[in-house]
Amino acid sequence: MIIKANFMSTIIKRREVDIQRSILQGLRKCGYVCGKTRTMGVKQANGVRYTDRYTFRGFPDLTAFVPWLLYIEVKAPGGRQRPEQKDFQKMCHKASVRYIVAYDLVDVLKAISHGPVKPALDIDRTADLISNWWTKERQKLSADPYKSLAIEISKSLKELCYEH
């Protein structure tokens, strides 16, 4: 879409769908597998808007395998994430999945160059933290009649963390 501005200059306003298309084409030319999610809502006669019931609210526009999983939320210049999209981004972060907000293909290529997300959960460190916490709790419970129960729970938690 071209908009005529004052002083006879021409400004090209890029629509989100055009940016999505250029990102998909660029990634495919690089040999990556990628696709668009049908996330567009539909308005009913009563004005209620609903989305596909088989995806999460806030699910990103594009998904790519580069070769790891990359979710891409595409925004036009000046566009912002909705609260549902921010929530989905937080879920991805917790699951150690790369999620980016991209305004053009360059943003996506930069994210790919940084590599996959490192796991957010370090099992050994988590087990140590739980063990240290329970050690302190056991000291507090030394006069408690439930001391043996606390010790058993501590052992079980430690075993559970090391099994995975």
26 and 69, same domain (yes or no):
yes
Place of tokens 């050690």: 135
Continuous H helices in the chain: 16-29, 83-94, 105-113, 123-140, 147-163
Q: Same domain, yes or no, for 25 and 70?
A: yes
Residues 68, 105, single domain; the answer is yes
Asked whether residue 150 falls in the same domain as residue 89, the answer is: no
The CATH number of the domain where 30 resides is what? 3.40.1350.10
- Residue 107, pLDDT > 60, answer yes
Which pLDDT belongs to residue 64? 95
Q: Is residue 140 part of a domain?
A: yes
20 belongs to a structural domain? yes
> Same domain, yes or no, for 29 and 49?
yes
Is 43 in the same domain as 77?
Answer: yes
The answer to whether residue 3 sits within a structural domain is no
Range of the domain at 137: 123-163
Per-residue confidence band for 38, with pLDDT thresholds at 50, 70 and 90: confident
Is the same domain home to 133 and 104? no
Pick left, alpha or beta for residue 28 (phi over 0 → left; psi -120 to 50 → alpha; otherwise beta): alpha
**Domains of the chain: total:** 2
Residue-wise pLDDT for 66-104, tens only, equals 989 999 999 999 899 999 999 999 998 888 899 999 999
Q: What φ, ψ does residue 11 adopt, rounded to 5°?
A: -115, 130
Regarding whether 77 and 135 lie in a shared domain, the answer is no
* Same domain assignment for residues 59 and 135: no
DSSP percent split of the chain into helix, strand, coil, nearest 5: 45, 20, 40
Question: Is residue 146 included in any domain, yes or no?
Answer: yes
Same domain, 146 and 91: no
Q: Cβ distance 73 to 47 under 8 Å?
A: no
Q: Quick one: angle between helices 123-140 and 147-163, nearest 10?
A: 180
pLDDT at 10: 41
